[in-house]
Each structure stands twice: as structure tokens, then as C-alpha cells.
Structure 1
Amino acid sequence: MGYPQNWEDNQRYKGGWKLDSKGKLTLKAGGKLEKFATLSIFYNQNMPEIDDYYEPWNYDYQALFGKEGTHQPVARAKSQLTGENIELKWGPNWDDDLAGGEKSMAEDPNLRGIQEEIKADFESVFMMYLPRLCEHCLNPACVASCPSGAMYKRDEDGIVLVNQDRCRSWRFCMSGCPYKKVYFNWKTHKAEKCTLCYPRIEEGLPTVCSETCVGRIRYLGVVLYDADKVKEVAEETDEKELYERQLELFLDPFDPTIQKAALEQGIDQETLDFAQRSPIYQLAVKERLAFPLHPEYRTLPMVWYVPPLSPIMNVFEGKESVGEAEAIFPGIDEMRIPVQYLANMLTAGDPRPVKAALYKLAMMRLYMRGKNTERPLAEETLAQVGLDPQRVEKLYRLLAIAKYEDRFVLPKAHREQVLADPELAHGTVGYEGCPGCGSGGHRAEPIVTEAQKGKSGAEIYAENFYGGIWRD
């Protein structure tokens, strides 16, 4: 389901990465040399069509408000792209309100490996919404797919952006993104995508979608990772191991060795303090309750999801052993949303991590229920899923009653630290030897690091000017 239709079908769209015959990472749609050799650089055969996105339309309301006629007026649907009358055959309400119906369900790639009898009962599933946004991946396929270099990933915070001045409407980023979260603006003829509200992030504020979410389901925080191991992890041969390998990328902010290395790399102490309080580190790394969306795409996404603990079907009805672990574990397998379906979506088909997370969530729910009804669970029961009362209380506060400052733990970017002397750089025009160019009427001294001394302007430009943004 979703937008565009069948967005997860990367056998058709060729989004994401794959391993070639030598075990090297390559784009599913082919690299630049392959595209030039086959001349496919001039036509994107894997790009979603406008019908996959639902052609935008409006209605001819003038026919209703115009002069009186002899026939019943009808407001016909008109394309917002061509202005011509169109016949409506599909629309976003089919997917949003009807979950795509039987047609979309039969084509859902996440149903692979699920027994036929479960598929037959799948219509009993209640609505499950998957809020999707740009994953701001560690290994973004959209960046590698863009022939113009308009897509880039910021060094300072990892946000993936589009330089629309460099965008030339190739639209390989649209097909290259396996999550299909890059769009084409038919007015400006430029690529557009989620910016993760980076001006707000720089000020330590959450994204607008996170702050306005009435369900309070979104969390934002700092996570330290080893950038040197990204390629090695993305080249993992076993798709089911990609989730575990990505966890290995994330570094422990409480480790003194990691703290020392981070400070040497230019990460300030404030950022380290925020990383220690990060809800993302707590949920994804420490408790392993959150998972990446389709890790088999090898983009190493950085937007993770806590699987839903959906209502369990009549397993505990009339049972006295509701507080026993032996009754909880079989109940997870009877959930309305099959565990294998969630595993196909979140862990490349491996149900074990998803089950472990659901066991923890179920035990947390039963523990808090027992605490309020004066029927507490035994600590031995919690220990079976790797929990203790203190961790359960902490998880409950984070997942159920977290305050604003608990869900959004973001430091300010401190852009003033980028320049060695911001006052001197203020008002300069970027030229050397220009009288009066600097602030205060004197010549501005060039801001050059020790590593850049002795290099030409072209060499400094090639090393630091990336994607239209000067790399700090």
C-alpha cells in the first residue's frame, strides 16, 4: 500500500542497493558508467509513472456556478497537469481509507513467506498506518543516483537535502530511493523531499511533524555512529543480518573511549551529553524495541519504528493465567497483524528480533496493569524477556507518559563555531587582497585551515564544496 502504488516493489523500480557478483555494493538500477554505456541516462525506465502517484485533479466548479443551462450541471474531474478531462479510476482514498482493497493486498511484497490461511484471514486486520518520511539514510541511494550531484548528505547532522540550483530534472533520485520519498515538482521541475526541518534542528527544536503529532509517537535524538564502517555494514551478504550489523555501527555514548574519540573529532561535550539522554539510543540500541524500515535495501535508514502491539485475538479470554509468561508468548503469535508480516517490513524477514520486542512491550503492559490492580508480576516473569522492574518503569515513562523534553533531545548546532573568527568573516565577499572587503574597513584575512595551506583555490574547492554547500 502507500504512495506511490506498490512502492516496496523494487524489482520494478530498482531502488536501493545490491551486491554484484564480486560482493561489491552497487545500485540496483546500475551505476553511472552502466547508465552511460546503455544510454539509459537519457531515459529512466524504472521511474514511477504519474498514475502510480495518482494524477492530481480538480473539478470544474465553474460549470456549477456558471450561467443557467438546460441540463443538470456536472463538475467533471480535470487534470491539474494538462487541464484535460480525466476519468477517475484510482485515488489516494482507495489506499488511505480502504487499504488498497484486494488488488493492492495481493501485490504486497510483505506477504512473502506468510501461510496462505493467514493471508485468507488478513481481511480481519484492523487499520495499521505506517507514517513514512525520508529515512535520511547513512548510505543514501538517492545521493548516489543523482547525475548532477544535487542530492547530498550533510556532514554535521546527516540530513539528506536537495540543492535545487544544481537539480537538472534527471529524476533518477526518485527511482533510486527505495522508499520513494523524493518527489518531482511539476511547477519548478525540481526534486523535492523532506528536509527534516533542518533550520529547526539547528536550533535544537523538533521537526514540525513530530511536534504537532497528537499521538506523541515521534521521538528525536542524537545517535553516535562509526562512519568508517558504513560501507562494510552495507555489504553484509546475509540480508537478515543487516539489522544486527547496523546496530554495531551505533556507539555507546557512555563509553569513555568513545567520548574521548568524539571530542578529538570535533564533537562538543554538549552533544555528547544529549547523546546520553537520547530516546533513540534507549529504544533502538539499548532495549532493541525499534527497527529500520526494510534494511534489505542496504541504505541503512535512520528513521526507526516500534512495531505495533496490536490487539490479541481472544487468546486470554476467560483465562486465569493472564499474568503468566507461558500465556503471553503464544499470544504474540496470534496477533491480528502477523509477526512474519512485521518481520518482512522491519528486519528483512527475521521474526526473532520482532518477537523479542513484542514480548517486552507485552510484559511492560501486563506489569503496569498488575501494579495498578495490586496483582504485580513476579520479577522472574520479567527476567524471561530480559527486563527488571526498574527498566520497565523507565520504558513506561518513555513510551506512555514521556514529556516534551523526554521525546525531543536535540542540541543546538552552534554554527558560530564553524568559523575561527566570525567577526572577521562578517561582511567579507570571499576575495583575497580586496581593500575594504573585510569588516571594519580592513582587508579580510582568508580563512584557511592548516591542512589547506599551500593548496590552490581549485583544490580547496574540490575538497570542500560538496552538493552546492560549503562543507564545514
Structure 2
Amino acid sequence: MRVLAQVAMVMNLDKCIGCHTCSVTCKQTWTNRPGVEYAWFNNVETKPGVGYPRRYEDQEHWKGGWALDGRGRLVLRSGGRARRLLSLFANPDLPSVEDYYEPVTYDYDHLVSAPAGPDLPVARPRSLLTGRPAAVTWGANWEDGLGGAPEHAGDDPNLSGSWAEKVRFEFEQTFLFHLPRLCEHCLNPACVAACPSGALYKRVEDGIVLVDQDRCRGWRMCVTACPYKKVYVNHATGKAEKCTFCFPRVEAGRPTVCSETCVGRLRYLGLLLYDADRVAGAAATPDARDLLEAQRDVFLDPRDPEVAAAARESGIPEDWLDAARRSPVHDLVVRHRIALPLHPEYRTLPMVWYVPPLSPVLDAVTGAGGDQDDPDHVFAAVTRLRIPLEYLAELFTAGDTDVVAGVLMKLTALRSYMRRRALGEPGDDAALKAVRLTPGDAEELHRLLAVAKYADRYVVPAAHREDAAALGALENRCPVESPAGRRVPLGMPTLRRSGGGRP
């Protein structure tokens, strides 16, 4: 067992109101420079929708993430070294600017400098790429609130099954929810493995994936390999850029900008301990529907004395162990099992997880003529919610609707229990027992999901700069390399120490 620590995030989609404050503050902090006008390290998408860039989830087209070859070994969808070498100067699997959008500015000066005349002056759009007049036809948030859904949302790659016929983009029949996205800082990042120059690396201190600007040569293989399309090319410098998980703030023990400015308080930050020796096997799980449990099995219990001892042996300090024990991410992902990863079938083992949205359950019960106080009626209504289980399963469980239904039933039982308590009535312990929750678990989950304070939502320990020199010995370690130095043949990325010290 080789214990490493990862800073991870969970987002409660029930609380996202689509205000885009997280996107704007991230943009102002990280991508307000020439060359990355089109890049949004954090963006909020409306689902169903084609996303940003358009149809980024269609890996048959974009060749992102990992796949299994005929012998069950992990290989990049974008191809091996030979194929990537042949496409260095003509990569066919890159999104175009039209797939993102052409960033524009406006002739604001014309509003005040136009000569007097009978017509009101107009600030016309101009491309930030060419400086020429441009038409605004697409954007990073073009489908906000299902705007244009009848024309575009049907192209959502997640609506590919026969069940998709039940989705109707008509007034009073459709559904929507907001999905904030950023780099997943995966345990098995395809972008790192695909980089020919070794510029992308995963920090051994905290698992954050970064780009070494000095080593980047702009080959853009990372853009293709990332299945979430969260690596961008700065067209002014020719180098790759991506979400940094606000590592300067994390090293100071503070949450990311998107988390701290989130109006809905839907984000949670914390540590997860994981066994690096299990990463390879988890990512190579044959059945895509088993990848969720395989990834959960990689995570370790920080309260286990054996895990704590192994963590200390790996150099993880005591305050980090304490933070891992208090981690809201561990509680939501491992303990209560209500958070799910985005597209586990990409086999990158993502580390940004989501609590799926819960439609108005009691309305569904009443509409079906059921009893709101009957747990059987309430649980049965979960399968008839406005947001189809199949759609959520395509996003979070590789199509396994049973897992999604189990999470939604747990959330439903929690909501019903706390509702009765708020009305001064005795809680329904039978409903909790049916979803394997105790009254104590329900109280804790309610506190965490509904009324958690700042210190409960963000448990991020500060840097240990005194350990920076010791980490140099781990500079060229691979996350699936054994202590004896034997590498498993997966082409996994190299973990390197950044200059920021040990968070």
C-alpha cells in the first residue's frame, strides 16, 4: 500500500442556480490575458445541451480518455506514440474555434466618437482573434437555461439511447439542470500520458495536474487526450494552459476561487487518501459500470490505523491526516456514497464528483395519486422523475441506473425525514433504514448538504514547505510504480514536485 493524498471537490447540483459567478471569478483570476479569451477553466453548462466545446463528450469523434485493447490493457484513445508522432503537425482530433466560440469585443469607442447624425451609433462586434467584424453565433454559455434547446439540445451525446425519446424540449415537458465543470485533476490523467514533451505533470504533494510552461512545445496532444476538453492552447504563446485548482490558494490553506465565490454554496473541498498501487487496476476494470466501485476501492479510510501508519511512512504530515479525517469530500464520496464522478467510462478516475440533482419528488408522488407519507410511494416516484434516471446515469455511472436511483432514494429519504422533523413530527426511521441511513447519518448529511458552514465545506490544510526538499526524491516516480521501481505497462504520467512546496 502506497498512500498519496489528493485535494478533491464535490458539487451538489441541487444547489446550483446557474449564476456563473464561479466562471466569472475564475476568468478574471486566470484567463483575463491575450491568447485565452475563449478559454474558461470553469464553466457552467445547461444540461441537456451540447456543452463547451460542442459535443465534447463524443469520444468516438474526439478520441479523448482511455480504452482497453484486446488484451485488457489501457491505451489512449488518441493512439500510441507512433500515431501521435505522425499527427504532431496535423492533428485531426482537435476542436476548432467554432466548436468553442470566436471571442469578440465591441466598438465601444464608436458610441462616443461617432459624428452627430440622425441615427443612434451602434457598438458592433469585432473578433478578438482577427480584429475584423464578426457575427456572434455561439458562446461558452449559449444554451443557458435551455435557450435554443429545440434546435441544439437534441445533439447532446448523452441522448443517444432508445430511452431518449422520453425527453421533450417543449414547454412544461422539458427539464434542465446546471453542471459546473473544471479540470478533473484525475488520478489517471490521459492528458499527462499523451504529452510528448512531459510538460503536463501530476503533483505528488496534492494530486493537482499542472503544465510546465518552460517545457510545453505546443504539440496539443493534451487537448485531444483530455476527454473533458479542459486543456486549452494560448494562441498568443502557443502553449497549453488549464485549470490549476488555484494551487497558490490551496497551498495557503484557502479554497479555490470558484468555491469561495460560489453563491449557492454547492462546492466542497477536502482531502482523499488513496492507494497509488491500485490506480492501474481500477482504471483497467473491464466493465465500465464497475469503474465507480473500482475507484471508490482505491480510496482509503484515514481513520484506519494501518492507513494512518502507511500515510506517515509516505511523508504525509499529521495535520493532513487530521484534515483527511474531517474531509467533507470523503464523507460524501466514500462514507455516504451520494457523490458520483463525471463520465467514469473515460477511465481517467476523475477527482471532481457530483451529487446528482433531485427533481421535485413530492410533486411526482401527488401527480401519480400516491401518499407523500408512504415511503414505498415516494421511492417509486424516483423512477418517474422529470429528469430521467437514464440521462443521469449516462453522465455519472456509465449507464447504470440502479446506482443513480439508489443515490436519489437516499436523498429523498433524507429530505422526507428532515421535513417531518421541521414540522415537529417524528421522523420516519423506516424510510431511512430502507436506504441504510441512521438518524445520526441523516442529521449529519443534512448539516453537510444544507447548513454547512465555511469551515465544514472547505477543509484544506496549508503547505508544508519544510518537506519540499524531501519530495525531490519522488520527482520521477510514477503513480503506478512499485516501491522497487517496477512500472506497470500503462504509459502512466510521471509525478513531479512543483516549486510550490508541499501543501
The partner residue of 2:281 within 228, 232, 248 is: 232
1:64 Cα deviation (Å)?
3.8
SS at match of 2:210: strand
Match of 2:250 in 1: 201
Q: C-alpha separation between the residues in 2 aligned to 1:236 and 1:42? A: 34
1:54 Cα deviation (Å)?
0.7
Pair 1:241 & 2:293 matched: no
Change in CA separation of 1:367 and 1:89 when aligned onto 2, cut-off 3 Å = same
Match of 2:127 in 1: 79
Match of 1:95 in 2: 143
Change in CA separation of 1:41 and 1:104 when aligned onto 2, cut-off 3 Å = same
- Give the letter for the 2:223 counterpart: M
Q: C-alpha separation between the residues in 2 aligned to 1:14 and 1:243? A: 21
1:316 Cα deviation (Å)?
2.8
- Give the letter for the 2:153 counterpart: M
1:267 Cα deviation (Å)?
1.5
Larger Rg: 1
Q: C-alpha separation between the residues in 2 aligned to 1:327 and 1:122? A: 28
Pair 1:336 & 2:336 matched: no
1:114-170 alpha-carbon deviations (Å, 9 max, x no partner): 525412367633431100001000000111121111111000100000111111111
For the 8 Å contact 1:133–1:194, the answer to whether it is kept is yes
For the 8 Å contact 2:203–2:497, the answer to whether it is kept is no
Match of 1:435 in 2: none
For the 8 Å contact 2:183–2:228, the answer to whether it is kept is yes
Pair 1:257 & 2:306 matched: yes
1:335 Cα deviation (Å)?
1.4
**TM-score using structure 2 length:** 0.80
1:61 Cα deviation (Å)?
3.4
Of the structure 1 ranges 132-141 and 199-208, higher mean CA displacement relative to structure 2 is found in 199-208
Match of 1:21 in 2: 70
- Give the letter for the 1:238 counterpart: D
Pair 1:323 & 2:373 matched: yes
Match of 1:222 in 2: 271
Q: C-alpha separation between the residues in 2 aligned to 1:208 and 1:384? A: 39
1:69 Cα deviation (Å)?
7.0
Match of 1:118 in 2: 166
Identity across the alignment (%): 51
5+ residue gaps, structure 2: 1-49, 475-493
| Mapping for residues 21-420 of structure 1, pairs under 5 Å | 21-36=70-85, 39-68=86-115, 72=119, 73-120=121-168, 124-312=173-361, 314-317=363-366, 321-419=371-469
For the 8 Å contact 1:150–1:467, the answer to whether it is kept is no
Change in CA separation of 1:183 and 1:375 when aligned onto 2, cut-off 3 Å = same
Match of 1:462 in 2: none
For the 8 Å contact 1:167–1:190, the answer to whether it is kept is yes
Of the structure 1 ranges 395-404 and 75-84, higher mean CA displacement relative to structure 2 is found in 75-84
Q: C-alpha separation between the residues in 2 aligned to 1:417 and 1:317? A: 59
Q: C-alpha separation between the residues in 2 aligned to 1:120 and 1:127? A: 11
**TM-score using structure 1 length:** 0.85
1:199-224 alpha-carbon deviations (Å, 9 max, x no partner): 12112211111111121100011111
For the 8 Å contact 1:149–1:467, the answer to whether it is kept is no
Q: C-alpha separation between the residues in 2 aligned to 1:100 and 1:49? A: 21
Of the structure 1 ranges 53-62 and 249-258, higher mean CA displacement relative to structure 2 is found in 53-62
Match of 2:29 in 1: none
Change in CA separation of 1:168 and 1:239 when aligned onto 2, cut-off 3 Å = same
SS at match of 2:179: coil
Change in CA separation of 1:278 and 1:146 when aligned onto 2, cut-off 3 Å = same
SS at match of 1:191: strand
- Write 1 or 2 for the structure with the bigger share of strand: 2
Q: C-alpha separation between the residues in 2 aligned to 1:419 and 1:92? A: 42
1:222-275 alpha-carbon deviations (Å, 9 max, x no partner): 111011111111111101110010010001111111111111221122211111
For the 8 Å contact 1:254–1:276, the answer to whether it is kept is yes
1:176 Cα deviation (Å)?
1.2
SS at match of 1:4: coil
Q: C-alpha separation between the residues in 1 aligned to 2:141 and 2:220? A: 26
- Give the letter for the 1:106 counterpart: G
